[in-house]
Structure 1
């Protein structure tokens, strides 16, 4: 591939990476999908392609769809909870310099997207997040535009019913500061083992998802309701003094580091003055693979 063709593809790489990350929820798989799209681009004569960006988006979307379908077919995981890959940045980074992939997708949204069928996920991501018309989405799925629209509508309903409206990366600096205050209040209460203070910052229907793999902090689990989540938080009060603030897909989070080893990555989804979701990655293998600050 010549330098000119390289430049043509590189002009679209950022968007393709964003599409693939939202489609797959995995940073490594998103990289693989973009690389496969590059290989197909290199083998294809695109001189007659009027909309190269649209053509490449279709290519990477179909690759991601195949990967999602293969994942769904082999999903026989030994643990009940598997969280998407987060994009983690230092808490004191300039917001404009944070990772591109996290600039408009919350971790809470990625969790909901993981629960959609491959077809629903593609229809929702392409149409609602990237503005691709259903006339182009339908053929990718082997369905009519009307059927693709119905898939996106069904996915949208599930997303709206499950994703807090106040945790997106488009919040103002004041919103972000307030979310961090709530997260700090939770951390302080967990450190002290104070059940009353923990309950004060937890939403009544808060959900805790812990992806521990086969690590020492297992088993993986899903816990719902403020009392149950507060009790779980008190069990980890020994880790709280080792927590370092980070930003996870625009939301407040913490790395717990002891003896030079990362033990957990925690992210909190805040709505108003309450935490509505806490997601914990404690799988040692996954933590080693992540690009952590």
Structure 2
């Protein structure tokens, strides 16, 4: 699941690929398989590479910003944070696979080459190209765990109760807000950029929520970023993840598409 989810950004698609890999394992002559882990990883990676082609076509027709399915943890255990997953979306499927297998999961290039059925030198080049594209997506400023979770809870309270002064004090000047509704729930159709634009958007949201408040379900790490799960006025869940730099919120990532939240129920 760890490999498949990071390849695809979708919990449901990752589960499907793991299931298909299991079916192929059950059909295989396992007595002839010298290294079961390598066999399964190779099978799964190839399935994911095929799946990425169709996933890319679906995302080209996606309504509004696309965000990966949220994975919520109690602790900051994600080795691939949400900004990095978004950067991976800009890579070719082969670059993505080479980078994940080598840089994230620690495989040597000989094993990466066997998994991808490519020459080791070609895999090394694919990973190097990927690395240059995703370098800026690596977290640069880490905040202590409890402080970051406290900031996430304060963000929820200020954004829901209309305390715009407290809300604005948390934001960086160049903050961005990304909302993934997938055309199934109301969400901004474009990324909202800049302090003034984000303040205006959340002032509108707070005015709408004044009489139909949302409920904080859980504070935790959403794809490696401090954030929370909330139950909104329409009875649906929502996740919010916050990218923090120098103690200020640099980016807000909200997933509202119910298809991406089913596994959280």
Using the size of structure 1 for normalisation, the TM-score is 0.78
Aligned residues: 260
Cα distance, 1:36 vs structure 2:
1.0
Contact 2:64 2:183 in 1 (8 A): no
Counterpart among 100, 112, 129 of residue 154 in structure 1: 129
Contact 1:112 1:163 in 2 (8 A): no
Separation of aligned partners in 1, 2:174 and 2:130? 22
Separation of aligned partners in 1, 2:4 and 2:243? 23
Using the size of structure 2 for normalisation, the TM-score is 0.85
Contact 2:149 2:219 in 1 (8 A): no
Give the 3-state SS of the residue equivalent to 1:28 in structure 2.
helix
Contact 2:42 2:116 in 1 (8 A): no
Cα distance, 1:37 vs structure 2:
0.9
Give the corresponding residue for 1:71: 55
1:217-256 pair list within 5 angstroms: 217-237=186-206, 238-239=208-209, 241-244=213-216, 245-247=218-220, 248-256=222-230
> For structure 1, which runs of at least 5 residues remain unmatched after alignment?
1-16
Q: Which moved more, 1:177-186 or 1:36-45?
A: 177-186
Bigger relative contact order, structure 1 or 2 (CA pairs below 8 A, ≥6 apart): 2
Alpha carbons of structure 1 residues 263 and 217: separation in structure 2 relative to 1, 3 Å: farther
Cα distance, 1:261 vs structure 2:
0.8
Separation of aligned partners in 1, 2:173 and 2:138? 16
Q: Which moved more, 1:219-228 or 1:134-143?
A: 134-143
Q: Which moved more, 1:111-120 or 1:34-43?
A: 111-120
Contact 1:202 1:275 in 2 (8 A): yes
Contact 1:256 1:265 in 2 (8 A): yes
1:177-216 pair list within 5 angstroms: 177-216=146-185
Give the corresponding residue for 1:6: none
Give the 3-state SS of the residue equivalent to 1:47 in structure 2.
helix
> For structure 2, which runs of at least 5 residues remain unmatched after alignment?
none
Give the corresponding residue for 1:176: 145
Counterpart among 235, 249, 254 of residue 280 in structure 1: 254
Give the 3-state SS of the residue equivalent to 1:179 in structure 2.
helix
Cα distance, 1:164 vs structure 2:
2.3
